[in-house]
Amino acid sequence: MDRNWIRNRHIRHRQEYIDGIESFIEVATQHVNEQNKTVCPCVKCQNKKDQIIPVIRMHLAKDGMLETYEIWHKHGEKLDAPPPPIVQDDLEPNVVIQNILNDAFPIVQGAKDVDMNEDVELADDALGEMADAMGNQGANVHRLQADKYDELLAEAQREFFPGCDSSVLTAMVKLMHCKVLNHWTNKSFDTMLETLNQLCPKPNNIPMSFYEANKMLKKLGLGYEKIHVCKNDCALFYKEHEKKRSCPVCGENRYKPSPSSDDGKNKKKVPHKVLRYFPLKPRLERLFMSRHTAAEMRWHKEKRVDQNDVMRHPADSIAWKEFDKMYPDFAKEPRNVRLGLATDGFNPFGNMSLSYSMWPVMVFPYNLPPWMCMKKPYTFLTLLIPGPTAPGKDLDVFLRPLIDELKELWETGVRTYDKSTDSTFDLKAAVLWTVNDFPAYGNLSG
């Protein structure tokens, strides 16, 4: 029996996962101590606490097993045994990748003070290179993109070094986070990686240089667009105003005053405000790069049971059904995405006595079934609106990049590869609802 169930904690209610737990329990029962206990490999115990078999069974059913514990060496298996087969299509890629992105999220929270792009450059340009090489030949390019994503999943399964609980991808995200926050130079990062290679058990999967680590992390798609904003929130220096040096509305200078340095050269120009925009289209396309997730994106149409006077999912609502009647061409393609948009202010410093407010804008795909819809792996941060004050009624100024992309997704869509059917289609999207409290609703409504 393969052990793909270990990585599929989201299917804990299915027979496949239950059978997997029982297969482990059979092995663990043979390696109990005098107190009838053995180490528990659940996510919380992490092979560090002894438990009786019934407790281990309960922990695994509730929390899942450590994803890196493929070879049960704490329960009698040999470390040099070949790992069980991995079927990549059966993994839940968004869960795997989102767990890694969650480790990287503090980078985004610290973006006000630290310019991640200058130091890490995680913009995902590999697809553009593929498109040039292939002559933009439709489905072939999209298949290459999906293959690249599969490679990323494989990296997420490799141990950093033998016996380490972190994958090489998770470890490198955390190390890059440390590099950015502490302003390490590329040379110092190279030295640290060389030292880790010497000290950690071999064979290991530690990159030899910053270049190799950065090349690996580019596949994560952590890149974002930096858009300068007027000091008074009047307008974005975006598209037709991109090259202007002063606000087209109030005339305020785009950059902070910067006196010349001692050698007579001008210092780097620093804008008053920077909006960080995380494009939506690549992440919607990513939902269709796994056969499993692509099938779930059609759940609302193919598997949902429509029962009168019962609402289990947004697709059961009157608004959803009326929308389908108004736009039958959009509704005809079940893979077209219905979105929810949420925003509110928060204090990134955790000290509520500080008068600083930063506004994230989140987007949720409602096509997914209830047990996946609005969960953390499928919550997309699209805008990070800077402080120190709330945008108020000028929120629409900051929303412009997202609105432009949503208009494109509504009118023309984006060519997307569906791995479940091995075909391409024009993916379209529409925002059906916004989720916010009443003050934010007033701002969002203009």
- Do 23 and 168 lie in one domain? The reply is no
Instruction: Report whether the peptide linkage leading into residue 370 is cis, meaning its omega lies within 30 degrees of zero.
Output: no
Q: Is the pTM of this model over 0.75?
A: no
Give the residue, 307 or 92, on which the prediction is more confident: 307
The residue segments making up the domain with residue 11 are 4-86
Q: Within this chain, do residues 165 and 26 fall inside the same structural domain, yes or no?
A: no
Most confident range, picked from 3-17, 248-262, 384-398: 384-398
Do 191 and 327 lie in one domain? The reply is no
- Let me know whether 210 and 239 are in one domain: no
Task: Please report whether residue 191 resides in a domain.
Answer: yes
Banded model confidence at residue 282, pLDDT cuts 50, 70, 90: confident
Count of CB atoms situated within 10 Å of the CB of 201: 10
User: Do 95 and 137 lie in a common domain?
Assistant: yes
Q: DSSP letters along 240-275, please?
A: GGTT-SB-TTT--BSB------TTSPPPPP-BSEEE
Q: How many domains does the chain have?
A: 4
Has residue 377 been placed in a domain? yes
For the segment 236-249, the average pLDDT, to the nearest whole number, is: 89
CA 267 to chain centre: 35
| Cα 251 from Cα 243, distance rounded (Å) | 14
At residue 399, φ and ψ (nearest 5 deg) are -75, -10
CA 99 from centroid of its chain's CA atoms: 8
Report the pLDDT value the prediction gives residue 228, as an integer from 0 to 100.
93
Last residue of a domain, one of 241, 276, 311: 276
Same domain, 21 and 75: yes
- Whether 372 maps to a domain, the answer reads yes
82 with 175, same domain: the answer is: no
Q: Identify whether the C-beta of residue 253 lies closer than 8 Å to the C-beta of residue 260.
A: no
265 domain residue, yes or no: no
Listed residues 86, 116, 141: the one ending a domain:
86
Residue-wise pLDDT tens digits, 406-437: 999 999 898 888 888 878 889 999 999 988 88
**pLDDT value at position 338?**
94
Mapping DSSP to helix (H, G, I), strand (E, B) and coil, where does residue 34 land? coil
Residue 105: name the closest of 434, 362, 338 by CA.
362
Q: Are residues 61 and 172 in the same domain?
A: no
31 and 42 inside one domain: yes
Q: Please check whether residues 346 and 400 belong to one and the same domain.
A: yes
- For residue range 23-52, what is the model confidence (pLDDT) as tens digits? 888 888 888 888 888 999 888 888 888 888
Does a structural domain hold residue 328? Answer: yes
292 and 420 fall within a common domain = yes
User: 92 versus 112: which is more confidently predicted?
Assistant: 92
Same domain, 172 and 206: yes
pLDDT at site 10: 57
209 inside domain: yes
On whether residue 358 sits in a domain, the answer given is: yes
**What are the tens digits of pLDDT across the range 158-214?**
777 777 777 777 787 788 878 877 888 888 888 888 888 888 887 777 888 888 887
Q: Using CB atoms within 10 Å of the CB of residue 126, give its burial: 0 to 12 exposed, 13 to 18 middle, 19+ buried.
A: middle
